[in-house]
Structure 1
Amino acid sequence: MGKIFRLILLITVFVGCESSEDRTKRFFNLGNQALTKGDYIQAIEYYNQSLKETPNYAQALNNRGVARIESDHPYEAILDYNKAIQLEPQYLDALFNRAYAYEEIGQFENALNDVETIQSITTDSAFVYFYQGLVQTKMRQYDAALLSFQQADSLQPLNPETLINTASIYYFLEKYDTAASIVNSALELSGNDANAYNLLSLIELKNQNYEAALAEINRALDVVPGEPYFLNNRGFIHLQMDNLDLAIEDINRSIVLNPKNGWAYRNKGIYKMLNEDYEGALNLFDRAIKSAEFIDELYYYQGLTFFRQGETEKACKAWQKGVEQKEISSQRIMDQNCG
């Protein structure tokens, strides 16, 4: 009993002698360990303790922001990044993280502003231009995105990921031959890339080569089994092939694996539309819109659902929104049906 008492006494004395600076670093390091393990709630608690000792600790604010966004609290994360950047205006990690958080909530313009700030600090980073291209793609600024990816390629040539995203721009511009050529160049470099196979499947789908599209998406799933976005894309291919039972199986599985996947809600809406459940389809399209995610042809299908109900005015309004989002399909069908 006496030994235990002395041990407790020694620990108490040790902790009591610990300085505020030591406690700041100890809780910060514990937070980092919890963050690495994916225990985000515990990480936040440790960072809170660190910041209680040193409120203006920019690194703890930034890392707490990471834990918050990983636990699905992007707005709180942005508040942490704001304060970290106020303390250290050229804190690159915090600027990148805030850009990502803005992107998560659909505030792409703010994300792009942070990227431009980063570019003013570090002018020769291929990744900065690459990420700028990703944000511009989501803003449907395809010409600007293409320039950003080209700049990234000039700084880091022959990067398969840059080539695949460059190809995606040509895909959205409906230049499918160019897109396919660039994807195949990326595959020559990488050898086996799931994202490349996925994009090839979408290109084949646009060319109405359904069996080829299915073969390519299955190759992507062979590389990354159970990937929710690939499952959803396979479901979309099955929709085009009128394999509705297979389509909804893949789409539902995609939603279970990633409930935030707005593309899957779009595709489930298409499934409902094809089954003449128009109200269910429109509810799902609304859910996809609220996700603030970049989702191509969303307004096209929303308008098509209204049109099938005989509500031409609502259809034309939806397609007009699609035109504003640079959906080529919306422009085409609006020209055909809206005076």
Structure 2
Amino acid sequence: MKVFSRLLILLALPFCTNPRVSDADNALFDHSLDLLAAKQLDSVQSIAGQLLKKHKDVPEFYDLRGLLQQEKKQADSALEDFNTAIKMSPKRSIFYAHRAGLYMDMQMPDKAIRDYNLAIAHVDGDTMRYQLICSRGSARKMKRDFQGAYDDYMEGFHFDSTNVDVLSSLGGVLDDLGREQEAILYLERAIHISPDDMPANVNLGFRYLSLGDYEKAIRLFNHALEIDPDQPLAYNNRGYAEYKLNKLQDALKDITHSLSLYPDNSYAYKNRALVYLALKQQDKACDDLQRAAGLHYTARYGNEVDQLIAEHCR
């Protein structure tokens, strides 16, 4: 992943409105949502188990457990719970949105788009509708339908032209469409509205990488890391800028740290392979290129990894 897209949103979690659920259990459910946001997953698992043991007919509790399983990287179990929630309440927009988010994690954008369409069909309220449309745009971007993603993001922009998430996502997809200067305008607008917005800083930094202004890109990535010291995309992109400046050891350190934070990033493996090639460490480079290929680099970003394997690893 080369840029940051924050529009893969965890939409507002569902309220439990089942009249058979006691006030105490409703309060416990609400508390579990706070715990989930705080990543206290063991506590959430305990509460979800209690609630489902007492209430096997409440879809919100299956949805809760699905979100928990998703956080724990247990995709099959999460999918089963989301399917159950949808089967029990097939007109709840939020359940389709959550399953779509899981499909995004699973690199299955077509299924995500289908679910976002169903979520949009059942949603109440313009704000949530446009959030869903923008999330669908991120799914379209994942499948490299950049024009479709742009169209969705623009719907969000026309609804709220000051939304930093939308501005940042527009900046990302415009670069994919070859409209770099427009991309920079949207991203600079996002940073003008919110100077410490980390995704906008990462995305703008990537735009300057594309333009070859590596020093400016590094300054933006440095600022992003001041905001969030554990942001893997900022480390990866800063490492690539350092590679282009022939600061190979700095690049290797940054990209390796990025992979420790986000080990499924095919783009980072490709970048580290470039560093290893520059260091004349071909075996390590080929290992990383094979990892990038196994993480579906080509489907998401193009054929650069395939070309590098053909050139250096045969």
The answer to whether the superposition gives a TM-score over 0.5 is yes
- The answer on whether the counterparts of 2:63 and 2:81 sit within 8 Å (CA) in structure 1 is yes
CA apart distance, 1:228 = 1.7
The answer to which structure has the higher helix fraction is: 1
1:286 paired to 2:306: no
The number of residues matched between the two structures is 291
Instruction: State how far apart, in whole Å, the 1-side matches of 2:22 and 2:311 are.
Output: 66
**Pairwise CA RMSD of aligned residues?**
2.7
Q: Tell me what 2:62 maps to.
A: 61
The residue type equivalent to 2:305 in the other structure is Y
Instruction: State how far apart, in whole Å, the 1-side matches of 2:226 and 2:37 are.
Output: 29
Q: Tell me what 1:106 maps to.
A: 107
- 1:157 is aligned, of 161, 172, 179, to 161
1:1-339 equivalent positions in 2, closer than 5 A: 25=25, 28=29, 31-32=32-33, 34-35=35-36, 37-122=38-123, 124=126, 125-292=129-296, 297=301, 299-308=303-312
The residue type equivalent to 1:212 in the other structure is K
The alpha-carbon distance between structure 1 residues 230 and 34, as it changes in their structure 2 partners (threshold 3 A), is: closer
The residue type equivalent to 1:51 in the other structure is L
The alpha-carbon distance between structure 1 residues 35 and 206, as it changes in their structure 2 partners (threshold 3 A), is: closer
- 1:256-314 Cα shifts (integer Å, max 9, x gaps): 233333332222222223334334323323323433579864630341242245x5xxx
Does 1 or 2 have the higher relative contact order (CA < 8 Å, sep 6+)?
A: 2
The alpha-carbon distance between structure 1 residues 175 and 157, as it changes in their structure 2 partners (threshold 3 A), is: closer
- The answer on whether the counterparts of 2:235 and 2:258 sit within 8 Å (CA) in structure 1 is yes
Instruction: State how far apart, in whole Å, the 1-side matches of 2:281 and 2:298 are.
Output: 25
Instruction: State how far apart, in whole Å, the 1-side matches of 2:292 and 2:173 are.
Output: 22
- The answer on whether the counterparts of 2:298 and 2:304 sit within 8 Å (CA) in structure 1 is no
CA apart distance, 1:218 = 2.0
- Which protein shows a greater Rg? 1
TM-score by length of 1: 0.77
Q: Which runs of 5+ in 1 are unaligned?
A: 1-19, 312-339
CA apart distance, 1:93 = 2.4
Q: Which runs of 5+ in 2 are unaligned?
A: 1-19
Percent identity (aligned):
21
TM-score by length of 2: 0.82
- The answer on whether the counterparts of 1:164 and 1:195 sit within 8 Å (CA) in structure 2 is yes
Instruction: State how far apart, in whole Å, the 2-side matches of 1:112 and 1:39 are.
Output: 30
Instruction: State how far apart, in whole Å, the 1-side matches of 2:153 and 2:91 are.
Output: 24
The alpha-carbon distance between structure 1 residues 211 and 50, as it changes in their structure 2 partners (threshold 3 A), is: closer
CA apart distance, 1:110 = 0.7
